[in-house]
Structure 1
Amino acid sequence: MAVLDDIRPLGSQLERSYEVYVRGRLKFRVGQLVYVAFSIDKRTMGFAFPREERAALVASEPEKFAMPSTSDLRFHWVHADLAALDRAEARELVVDAWRMVVPQKLSRAYDLAHPMGPG
């Protein structure tokens, strides 16, 4: 089971990433792009994910993943139940979401510095 404390340090350590609170919700951004956001109760994590792949992700593990609200369907976004994720899986989702909003050179540099993944 993953919790916010498993993810928060990672989001703060990723290059160009910073945390903000918007209407009581913790979000991680690169520039103005949000790549991870948590519900107010911190049970759900929304994260950047390729739009064309999200239906398959949700269908593969509906106990873990859910489609975003109708108003957010236009974005590259999906939701996850933190309690259904293990720590490593949650951290991997955060890094993959971060990769969607940073230049490829930063993503490659992260891979070189972390050959075993986000851990």
Structure 2
Amino acid sequence: MAGADDVRRIALSLPETSEKLSWGIPTFRVRGRIFASIADDDATIGFKCPMEERAELIAAEPEKFFLRPGHDDNSGWLRLRLAALDDEAELRAILEDAWRLAAPRTLAAAHPE
């Protein structure tokens, strides 16, 4: 099962990523732009996700993906229960996609999938 240490290790392995404590939780940033955070006593993460993909992901795997009503309604963020992950490769793919959404275009282009 993946945990907060895995999130931290994977996120910080991405180009130009740093960790900063904000709102009392660890956040991960690429050139100052947040792409992921660890929350709920290290049990969940929030991550950048295209608005148009959120409902589909939640419908397909509601035990894994969720929104925090009122907080995430109009944001480009989605929540993930770490205990529901299939494996570390899935976590890496989610964090890499979130990183690409936050990274400046030139940086993301310099680091293709």
Which band: TM-score by shorter chain?
A: 0.7 to 0.9
Q: Structure 1, unaligned stretches of length 5 or more?
A: 112-116
**After the TM superposition, which residues 1-119 of structure 1 pair with which residues of structure 2 at under 5 Å, given as runs?**
1-85=1-85, 86-111=87-112
Q: How many residues align?
A: 112
Q: Structure 2, unaligned stretches of length 5 or more?
A: none
Cα RMSD of the aligned pairs, angstroms, is 1.6
Identity %: 39
Residue type at the aligned position of 2:98? A
Report which structure shows greater RCO (CA 8 Å, sep ≥6). 2
TM-score (structure 1 length as normaliser)? 0.84
Q: Are the counterparts in 2 of residues 37 and 47 from structure 1 also a CA contact under 8 Å?
A: yes
Residue type at the aligned position of 1:51? M
Residue type at the aligned position of 1:110? H
Hey, which bits of structure 1, 4+ residues long, moved more than 3 A? none
